[in-house]
Structure 1
Amino acid sequence: MLFILCNGIHCAYGQDSLPTIVAQKGDGILSLLRKQGVNPHEAYDDFIALNMDNLRDSVHLYEGRSYKIPQLPMDTVAVVDSIQKQSTKIKEIKGKEYSIFGKKYALVLPKSECLKETVYYLVSGHGGPDPGAMAMYRGKSIAEDEYAYDITLRLARELIAHGAKVHIIIRDPDDGIRDDRILEIDRDEVNYPKETIPLNQVARLKQRVEAVNQLYLKNKGKYQRLIVTHVDSRSKGQNIDVFFYHHEKSKNGKKLAESIHKTFQAKYKKFQPNRTYSGTFGDRTSLYMVKKTHPAMAYIEIGNIRNKKDQRRILDPDNRQALAKWISEGILLDYEGE
């Protein structure tokens, strides 16, 4: 039987009967699940739950170890109709397709309705003619906007699965969610709905602020929040943790940033107990997006694209999925605390 809970769809398995697979060199959670014919984004949480004691930092496989593979139905879920009658009723779980996530991940199945009454605006940094921070990895250029966008798409998918209405402000017509380490750089991103992104920095920021604020007015009276995602650029030797900003006068913005920050603290404490998490949250109203947008917001810096340790956090698709998952859990924590 499968049981529907508020915080997601969780499966009750006979764990001994589940298939197992030995991780090979180079395998990640997403690639391992895909090779087994399982949708990696639908089975990701259940894989983590089944194999928690056999993962490094909660997201990395150990080469040569065996892992249980969850078997998830893609379109139906059995629920208990009546314990007295000892019968089950089949309830169809209808997903919805979003082409922006790419062909592989277009279908989003519901996990809960916890965010049903909410509206979220997601903005990934830079885009269009401006790639943002740049670095080299194995002889190839990598750019901030591609990785911030990929994490943003993954976050959007998580929030939609929990019932939220999500507006993705910076959009790419053909990238979708990508599971590559090196994300090819292009210049075809547009600003919601389909506006060409200007090269001038002030014009670019003003354009996305206006898009968010216009949508905010249309949704007046609803619960609305904004998440802005960037990848920082500092000296190569500076390894930084994920940190968060909010508007100094926004009580709700502070609460949102703090909730996500607390979630990251808890994750690091659980999965990396010997490592001190130094990421912080605080106000930084000098930032244009923080200062000018209407919704309560959290501005997130994922890491230093030029630092080798931070590059592992950014380039590994499993890490990008974990980042999106942790941010979404912080957002759920924030909303549940209302």
Structure 2
Amino acid sequence: MSQSKEVVALKGDGIYRLLTRYGLSSSEYMEDFIALNKSHLGKNNTLLAGVKYKLPDSANSTKSVTSSATPSKGTGRVVHYDIFGSNYADVEIKSNDLKGAVYYLVGGHGGPDPGAVGMHGGYHVYEDEYAYDVTLRLARRLIEEGATVYLITRDKNDGIRDSYSLKADKDEVCYPNRTIPLNQTKRLRQRTDAVNELYKKHKGSFQRMIALHIDSRSKRENIDIFFYHDKRSKTGKKASEILRNTIEAKYREHQPNRGYTGTVSPRNLYVVRNTWPTAIFIELGNMNHQRDVQRLVIPSNRQAVANWLTLGLVTDFKTNK
């Protein structure tokens, strides 16, 4: 095995930026990088300027981003999706772990409604923009594992963005290209109808609706990532528990002293109650709690969340049909 190359982190570097500077995909090498450099990372796996870090060996990396089982061989097929933006539009299908699974991903709010608004480092943090970026990253990872994915909330201009501050706009649309109404009930019904029409098209397939939001609570309340399901759905409850347990395991692996307080519970939410596929509603954190916001503003953290959710969804697909 060749020796790992060492590089020096520059001021402002995150793991994503460092990996991409040296031609390594963050979705493939993030976990390997953290494992190699755990003792030299700051809080929440931040990089320290001027410190040397080892790069994963692209020839020998384990690339353990699909499941604990032996990964399937990649198909070698590359598919182009403009929706992911110019830097991420080409997606390599790396495995068939999710072949036959269909996902409907709904980023929270959008269009005329930005959702919750917080502050970090002197700039605004808008729920719809950060939830959408995680949604895009999750969509891309699911496609890499062979899934069929529909983005119900869509923004043709944004793509995956590797910035701390994500500029707000109001040009999101609902699949396939419908203007998002301001009225909340109409907006929720529009998204539900879009999912249910697609559900009929894929009747008989393994299907999941996943909505991603960011909650707004007291500044003192650190809530971590938590999950809601329909009270009537045993499958939804089990899927949510799988995702929660996966997140907890990954935090225990990478930040063993951090702890994790995410929960699973039923809730009478419109999109959860009225969409026909098994529904999972994910709150990515509390917009008013700075540790939760840091999980959102750092691009490598948003990618890690997408990677970990993908791991859980692979387990869900294999064990919760």
Aligned to 1:5: none
Aligned to 1:307: 289
Greater Cα offset, 21-30 or 193-202? 21-30
Aligned to 2:150: 167
How many residues are matched?
306
Say if 2:133 is the partner of 1:147.
no
Give how far 1:55 is off: 4.1
Say if 2:119 is the partner of 1:121.
no
Match among 315, 318, 321 for residue 333 of structure 1: 315
Aligned to 1:133: 116
Aligned to 2:139: 156
CA deviation string 1:239-298 (max 9, x = no partner): 2111001111111111110100000111222223223311100111x1111111111121
Q: Any idea what SS the aligned residue of 1:136 has?
A: strand
State the TM-score, normalizing by the size of structure 2. Answer: 0.89
Report the Cα distance in structure 2 between the residues aligned to 1:180 and 1:92, rounded to whole angstroms: 31
Determine what percentage of the aligned residue pairs are the same residue.
51
Report the Cα distance in structure 2 between the residues aligned to 1:318 and 1:288, rounded to whole angstroms: 31
Q: List runs of 5+ in structure 2 lacking aligned partners.
A: 60-73
Report the Cα distance in structure 1 between the residues aligned to 2:310 and 2:84, rounded to whole angstroms: 17
1:61 is matched by which residue type in structure 2? Answer: L
Report the Cα distance in structure 2 between the residues aligned to 1:171 and 1:105, rounded to whole angstroms: 16
Say if 2:184 is the partner of 1:201.
yes
1:23 is matched by which residue type in structure 2? Answer: A
Report the Cα distance in structure 2 between the residues aligned to 1:57 and 1:336, rounded to whole angstroms: 34
Aligned to 2:93: 110
Say if 2:250 is the partner of 1:264.
no
Report the Cα distance in structure 2 between the residues aligned to 1:130 and 1:33, rounded to whole angstroms: 34
Aligned to 2:232: 249
Give how far 1:29 is off: 1.1
Aligned to 2:159: 176
2:302 is matched by which residue type in structure 1? Answer: R
Higher strand share: 1
Give how far 1:139 is off: 3.4
1:298 is matched by which residue type in structure 2? Answer: I
Answer 1 or 2: higher relative contact order, Cα 8 Å, separation at least 6. 2
Root mean square deviation of aligned Cα: 2.0
Q: Any idea what SS the aligned residue of 2:279 has?
A: strand
Rg larger for: 1
Give how far 1:304 is off: 1.1
CA deviation string 1:74-93 (max 9, x = no partner): xxxxxxxxxxxxxxxxx982
Aligned to 2:298: 316
Are the equivalent residues in 2 in contact too, given 1:59–1:318 (CA < 8 A)? Answer: no
State the TM-score, normalizing by the size of structure 1. Answer: 0.85
Q: List runs of 5+ in structure 1 lacking aligned partners.
A: 1-13, 74-90
Are the equivalent residues in 2 in contact too, given 1:136–1:142 (CA < 8 A)? Answer: yes
Aligned to 2:21: 35
**Shift in alpha-carbon separation, 1:96–1:293, aligned structure 2, 3 A:** same
